[in-house]
Every structure is written in C-alpha cells, then in structure tokens.
Chains A and B, each alone.
Chain A
Amino acid sequence: MTAPSFRDELERLEVIVRSLERDDLDLDRALALFQEGVERLRSARALLERSELTVRRVLEAADGTLTSEPVDR
C-alpha cells in the first residue's frame, strides 16, 4: 500500500491546480507544478481505467501467516 491512493492523487491535484490559479507563482515553480500535475493526472486516469476487479481469497496457514490466492470468477 505504498502507491498513492486515488484520494491522495485527487487531493494533491486540487492543491496543484489551486496554486496554478494564483498569480503570484514564479514561472519555474508553475512549470514544475504543472509537470507534477500531469503525472498525477496520468496516475489517477490509469487507476480509473483499471478494468478488472481483483479478487483474492485470504488463507491462513497453520503457523498463522496470511496468504491469498486469486479467485476465479
């Protein structure tokens, strides 16, 4: 769960857009923010375009460790 969540992406995007919408940003900073925004948009869109639901069945081994296996649907 290290990848930023969809929520993180949206929240960061909102912050970026708001900064860009202010006038007092210097141009280098604006460009850097824009670039980051594009990256985050790409990542959010990639998440949205994921088409197949992942379903895994959780199994507990005898020693108590948890594993999971894909579920055929």
Chain B
Amino acid sequence: MIRADRPAGPRVAPSDGAWSVTDVTRRARSLVEMGFDRVWVRGEVSGFKAYQSGHWYFALRDTQAQVRCVMWRSDNQRVRPPAEGAQVFVEAAPTVWEERGEFRLTVRQLLPTDASGAWQLRLERARAALERDGLLDPARKRSLPPYPLSLALITSADGAALHDVLSVLGRRWPLTEVLLLPARVQGDGAEREVLAALALANRLPVELAIVGRGGGAREDLWVFNSERVARAVAALRVPVISAVGHETDITLTDLVADLRAPTPSAAAAAAVPDRAALTPMVAALARRLAQGLERRTALGRERLARTGDRLEAAIREHARRRSARLGELAAALDALSPLRVLERGYAVARDGDGRVLKRRAQFAPGLAFRLTVSDGDVGARAGEGP
C-alpha cells in the first residue's frame, strides 16, 4: 500500500512537465520502502568490502540478478565477515539509495547457509513469529512468588541440572515441595517429552516452574529453541524461570520465560528466598510483637496507676473527714463526761472563784463553797473537823 507522503514538490513541474531527479528517486525510495516488509534473502556474496568506518558493502547475486547491500557497523560487529562467493542468508530492508539512484538492501543480519545457518534462519523466523504474537513483550513478564512452597521442575531426571537445582533449593529454602517432571532434554523425543511435561505442569498446584538443563553444545540446546516448546512455556499458568546452561546463546525458551537464569543453580537461587536472611526478619517481627504488647500493657498499667492515685486520694480525703468528725465527737464526749461522773453520785466542790476544791486543806472551817451535783448546784459551808 502506498501512503500519502509523496515526495516534496509537484508531481509534474509546471514549466516543462518533468520531475527533478531528486523527486523521482525520493518517490522510488518511498515506494520501495513501503512495498516491502523486512525480507530474508538468499544469495552469493560478491565484491565484499569492509570500510575503515566499519560498514560493509557487498553485492548478493544469483544466476540471474544481483543487488547491492550495505551492512552498518552497528549490525555487523558480532558477525564474521563472509568469504567471497559464500552463500548467505540476509535479513534486510530494501531501499533506494538516493545519491546513486541505486536499489539496495540494508542488511540487519547475515547468516551462513550451511547447516548451522539454516538452523539459525529457522530460529530467527520462529523468534519473529513469537514476537508477532506478543510473546516477547516485556510487559508479559510476571513477577515471581516471593516465598514459593511448591514448584514444578522440568528437566532431565539424570542430568547435572536436577542435582544443582535440588542442592540450591535444599540449602536456601527447603520449605518448598519440588514436583519433578522428568523429560529428556536432548536427542530423539526431547521436544515431545518437554511438551508433555509442560502440559502436566499446568495441571499441578504449584506456584512456580523451572524449566531447563545444564550446559551443552549449541545443538544440544535445540529443544529450547523449538517454537512449540517456547509457546508451551509462554502458556504456563504460573511464572516460569528458564535455565538453559549456556552463557552466550539465548534460547527462545529464555525469551518467553518470566525470568532467564544463566544456569540451573542460578534459576534455583532466583526461585526462592534464602531462609538464612528471613530468620532475622521473623525474629524482628517477634520482637516487635512482644514490644507491641509490652507497650500496650504499659499503657494500661499507667492508666490503672492514675486511677489508683485518684482512688487513694479519695480514700485519704474520706479518712481525713472522718477523723475530723471523730475529733469533734471526742471533744463532745469530753465535754459531756463530768456530768456522767456526777450521775454516778459524785459531786464537785468549787470555791467562789470556781476553783475545784480537791484536798482537805482547801476547806478552811466555815468556808462557803458550792457543790455541783447531777442536776445542779447547792450552797454549802465547811464544818469544824471531819
């Protein structure tokens, strides 16, 4: 389809009816670039030249045609320069180089067409298919459960990967239950077995899956570059860690997994927390729990103490009032007591000044005094002897 962005300037010049060279090459470029998606092209390398700038220029040809190619330095850095006459696959964007009016391929990838090249071509196509379906979208990646108590492990039953994963899990987080889904990871039937194991994993009550194998030669990793396996990994219900032990190659399984680990041991370490690090965290929670209660009860005690203080003050006040009343009563009793004595038949003698007469010597013969008895006073006079 051709978009509306036409080359600048009029399609037909008003004076002589001719296009400028610039306009026509620009128009051609626009049509070419819009007419092609990226394409894979197979051909023979001819006239290869690597410039000082790092960019590569060459032609690709077959028996009937040829096309100029450029591969920029940023794209060719990890690629071995092709030999003159070699058959290669290139992934390229066709364009027109305006300065020369030349149809040209801008090459993004260059692969040899021998067995490994053909294999890589398939891989690239599978990768592109996964990408089209959105399976490589980083937004798809799920976070891993922080404290998994169950996980599915898909690997060979007799490989080093199984041993490595179990030993790391056992050391860091033996809380977890490992459900092993053994599958051959190379050789005949590997793809079928891995696919079957992945299907089973989806039926298990696990929180996480690890799929992988130990290190191997590139061709031994083939099953993890199978598009079908990659799609099955992407379809896992739970987050999945890929662990394909190979430092340099990234497999399709790695690309679709929620996390890619470089080795099975690294996958195990990423899958679980280290309980040694959690023990102090639990201890800290225990401490806070105890302190929380302590604080809360201290608050209670404080309130209780304040209440107690008020109670004590109340009691003291009450006691003070009562003792005051007692004093009053006692005083009243004191005042009343002589009368009680008189009632029992005693009398009090007082002289004219009111002084109490207690001894014989105080009664001079003929002395007039007063006697207070229980119901009042009477006058009296001392006689001449006893």
Chain A interface residues (CB < 8 Å from chain B): 1, 5-7, 10, 13-14, 16-17, 19-21, 23, 25, 27, 30-31, 34, 37-38, 41, 44-45, 47-48, 50-58, 60, 66, 68, 71, 73
Q: Which of B169, B285, B289, B300 has a CB less than 8 Å from the CB of A27?
A: B300
Whole-angstrom CA separation of A5 from B173 in the bound complex: 13
User: Which chain B positions have C-beta within 8 A of A47?
Assistant: 175
11 contacts between A and B (CB under 8 A): A10-B147, A10-B285, A13-B285, A16-B292, A23-B296, A34-B293, A41-B286, A41-B289, A48-B175, A53-B176, A54-B178
- Given known A44-B282, A45-B282, contact A52–B174 (CB-CB < 8 A): yes
Task: For the complex formed, measure the closest distance between the CB of B238 and the CB atoms of chain A, giving whole angstroms.
Answer: 13
Tell me which residues across on chain A come within 8 A of B180, comparing CB atoms. Answer: 55-58, 71
Q: Bound complex: CA of A5 vs CA of B147, how far in Å?
A: 8
By a CB distance below 8 angstroms, the chain A residues around B181 are: 58
Number of chain B residues whose Cβ lies closer than 8 Å to a Cβ of chain A: 40
| Cross-chain contact B288 with A17 (CB below 8 angstroms) | yes
Q: How far is the CA of A65 from the CA of B188 in the complex (A)?
A: 26
Pairwise interchain contact A31-B166, C-beta atoms closer than 8 A: no
**What CA separation (Å) do A57 and B169 show in the bound complex?**
16
Question: Is A20 in contact with B147, judged by CB distance below 8 angstroms?
Answer: no
A51 to B288, CA, bound (A): 26
Q: Determine which of B157, B205, B285, B293 lies in contact with A41 in the assembled complex, contact meaning CB atoms within 8 Å.
A: B285
- Given A27-B300, A45-B282, A56:B177 Cβ within 8 A: yes
CA distance A42 to B182 in the complex (A): 36
Cβ of B278: which chain A residues have Cβ within 8 Å of it?
48
Taking the closest CB of chain A, its distance from the CB of B267, in whole angstroms, is: 15
B188-240 contacts to A, CB under 8 A, are 200, 203-205
Interface residues of B (CB under 8 A from A): 145-147, 149-150, 152, 157, 166, 169-170, 174-182, 200, 203-205, 275, 278-279, 281-282, 285-286, 288-289, 291-293, 295-297, 299-300
- A5-B149, A66-B204 as given contacts; A23 in contact with B289, CB under 8 Å: no
Q: Is the CB of B175 within 8 A of A50?
A: yes
**Which residue in A25, A55, A66, A71 is a CB contact (below 8 Å) of B200?**
A66
Contacts of A34 in B (CB 8 A): 289, 292-293
Q: Report B-chain residues with C-beta under 8 Å of the C-beta of A14.
A: 285
The smallest C-beta distance from A27 to any residue of chain B, in angstroms, reads 5
CA distance A47 to B282 in the complex (A): 11
Q: Is the CB of B178 within 8 A of A53?
A: yes
Alpha-carbon distance A1/B278, docked complex (angstroms): 22
A22 shortest CB reach to chain B, Å: 9
Closest residue of B by beta carbon distance from A69: B180
A48 to B286, CA, bound (A): 14
Known: A1-B150, A7-B145, A53-B169. A58 touches B200 (CB 8 A): yes
Q: What distance in Å separates the Cβ of B291 from its nearest Cβ neighbour in chain A?
A: 8
Whether the pair A20, B275 counts as a contact (CB closer than 8 A) is: no
Give the docked Cα–Cα distance between A73 and B174 (Å).
14
List B contacts of A25 (CB < 8 A): 296
B81 to chain A, nearest CB (A): 50
| Nearest-Cβ distance from residue B302 to partner chain A, whole angstroms | 11
Chain B contacts of A20 at CB under 8 A? 288-289, 292-293, 295-296
Distance between Cα atoms of A57 and B179 in the complex (Å) = 6
- Please indicate the chain B residues that have their CB under 8 angstroms from the CB of A58 in the complex: 152, 179-181, 200, 204
List B contacts of A31 (CB < 8 A).
293
List of A residues within 8 angstroms of B157 by Cβ: 57
Complex Cα distance, B178 from A16, in Å, reads 31
- For the complex, give the distance between the alpha carbons of A50 and B343 in Å: 96
Q: Is the CB of B285 within 8 A of A17?
A: yes
Complex Cα–Cα for A44 and B289 (A): 14
- Cα A23 to Cα B292 in complex, Å, equals 9
Closest Cβ neighbor of A44 among chain B residues = B282
Q: Contact: A73 with B288, CB < 8 Å?
A: no
A73–B318 Cα gap in the complex (Å)? 81
Cα A14 to Cα B289 with chains together (Å): 9
Cβ contact within 8 Å between B279 and A48 = yes
- Distance in angstroms from A60 CB to nearest chain B CB is 6
Among A1, A13, A27, A48, max chain B CB count under 10 A is at: A48
